[in-house]
Amino acid sequence: MLREQSIKAKWHITAAGRAKDYSQLLKPNLSGMVVFSSVIGYLMAPNITFSWSDMTMWQNAITLFIGGMMVTGGANTINQILERDSDKLMNRTKNRPMPEGRMDQPEAWVFAAVTGLGGAILLGYYFNILAAGLSFFSLLLYAFAYTPMKKIHPVAVLIGAIPGALPPLIGWVAATGTLTGVLGLGGWVLFLFQFFWQFPHFWAIAYVAFDDYSRAGMKMLPTREKETRFTGLQCMFYSLVLIPLSVVPRMIGLTDNIGMYVCMACGIMFFVASVMFFRANDHKSARRVMFASFIYLPVILIALLADKHVI
């Protein structure tokens, strides 16, 4: 009896531990934020009418979220497989399943294939082949271009910004089935918001975690030296672009005035934080840019959606 209870307890600990390991591979907090933007992109499409009581709309949105989480999780898993040795050297990643030896490569590759391919197939079956193709392209670009480039050149941030900005476009394509013409224009505008947002976001994180990245040999800042103000200057430039970009959704009829004003106010807030980072060039100001980026993206996406469907 005691032996049976011991076996059950050991199985529970092992199963719970393995579930936690898989969760770490998926990076649900990061993936959830990314996939959230794909759902907004879907709901922003002109052929989708938002309604709290529309069960079909919610079913589609949930399916898109699940498929997106699977593809993003597959990309994150491949990233951790390829960086398993580098992750051992960084404080924030050394406790992941692979650096600690809790999971071997074959198991991780199987998990990456099941989630990545499964998510793309789900999007293709439920929505359209273009959405599936874009999501799988995003996975390949993130895993096999951005990941290895991090140790070679700071251009990795530019490469990574492309798959990072694709989710709202994927959501738009899931709804409309097109990337071109007037119908595809709104999706590209959402892509641009997320594309330019990522540069100050990632550089602020890279500045704060500079020592960790340096130990792993990763070149994440736009300059080799942390002390220079060039990183802050670049953050200023990319956040500044977001201010005039705020007018574009209003110009193309994607949203109304409130959405435009909220985007503009958030862009100014983001830019001011970047200016303060440029002037102070320290951890406190870099963290201010990082937190401003956490606020900026969800607020502007929700504002655009609310103004399109509510106002």
Q: What CATH number did the domain enclosing 77 receive?
A: 1.10.357.140
State the average pLDDT for the chain.
89
Q: Identify whether 5 is part of a domain.
A: no
Whole-model pTM?
Answer: 0.90
Domains of the chain: total: 2
Q: Are residues 127 and 158 in the same domain?
A: yes
Q: Which of 126, 159, 179 is the last residue of a domain?
A: 179
Q: Identify whether 97 is part of a domain.
A: yes
Quote the tokens at residue 35.
């996939």
Nearest to 102 by CA among 118, 119, 117, 87: 87
Nearest to 73 by CA among 40, 37, 120: 120
- The predicted-structure confidence for 27-47, as pLDDT tens digits, reads as follows 877 777 888 999 999 999 998
Q: Are residues 73 and 137 in the same domain?
A: yes
Q: Identify whether 45 is part of a domain.
A: yes
Taking a C-beta distance cutoff of 8 angstroms, is the pair 191, 165 a contact? yes
How confident is the model at residue 5, as a pLDDT?
43
Q: Is the pLDDT of residue 59 over 60?
A: yes
Q: Are residues 188 and 116 in the same domain?
A: no
| CA geometry: angle 237, 242, 248, nearest 5 deg | 140
Rounded-to-integer distance, Cα 103 and Cα 87, Å? 14
- Tell me which residue range forms the domain holding 249: 182-311
Q: Is the pLDDT of residue 277 over 90?
A: yes
Q: Which of 127, 154, 179 is the last residue of a domain?
A: 179
Q: Are residues 219 and 161 in the same domain?
A: no
Rounded-to-integer distance, Cα 162 and Cα 31, Å? 15
- Mean pLDDT score, 178-200: 94
- Mean pLDDT score, 257-283: 96
Taking a C-beta distance cutoff of 8 angstroms, is the pair 49, 309 a contact? yes
Q: Is the pLDDT of residue 309 over 80?
A: no
Q: Are residues 84 and 114 in the same domain?
A: yes
Share of the chain above pLDDT 70, in %: 95
Q: Are residues 106 and 191 in the same domain?
A: no
Rounded-to-integer distance, Cα 293 and Cα 266, Å? 9
Q: Are residues 143 and 189 in the same domain?
A: no
Q: Is the pLDDT of residue 7 over 50?
A: no
Give the confidence band of 8 by pLDDT, cuts at 50, 70, 90. very low
Q: Are residues 47 and 168 in the same domain?
A: yes
Q: Identify whether 311 is part of a domain.
A: yes
- Mean pLDDT score, 169-189: 94
Q: Is the pLDDT of residue 11 over 80?
A: no
Q: Are residues 38 and 159 in the same domain?
A: yes
Q: Identify whether 1 is part of a domain.
A: no
Q: Are residues 293 and 236 in the same domain?
A: yes
Q: Identify whether 171 is part of a domain.
A: yes
Rounded-to-integer distance, Cα 144 and Cα 138, Å? 10
Helix residue ranges per DSSP H, the chain: 2-26, 28-44, 55-82, 84-87, 105-126, 129-141, 147-149, 156-176, 181-208, 210-215, 230-245, 248-251, 257-280, 283-309
How confident is the model at residue 4, as a pLDDT?
47
User: Among 135-139, 210-214, 222-226, which is the least confidently predicted range?
Assistant: 222-226
- The predicted-structure confidence for 90-102, as pLDDT tens digits, reads as follows 888 888 888 888 8
Q: Identify whether 6 is part of a domain.
A: no
Q: Are residues 60 and 152 in the same domain?
A: yes
Q: Are residues 284 and 222 in the same domain?
A: yes
Q: Identify whether 224 is part of a domain.
A: yes
Cα 169 from chain centre: 13
Taking a C-beta distance cutoff of 8 angstroms, is the pair 292, 271 a contact? no
Of residues 310 and 138, which shows the higher confidence score?
138
Q: Which of 161, 179, 197 is the last residue of a domain?
A: 179
Rounded-to-integer distance, Cα 62 and Cα 65, Å? 5
How confident is the model at residue 13, as a pLDDT?
52
- The predicted-structure confidence for 107-162, as pLDDT tens digits, reads as follows 999 999 999 999 999 999 999 999 999 999 999 999 999 999 998 888 999 999 99
How confident is the model at residue 168, as a pLDDT?
96
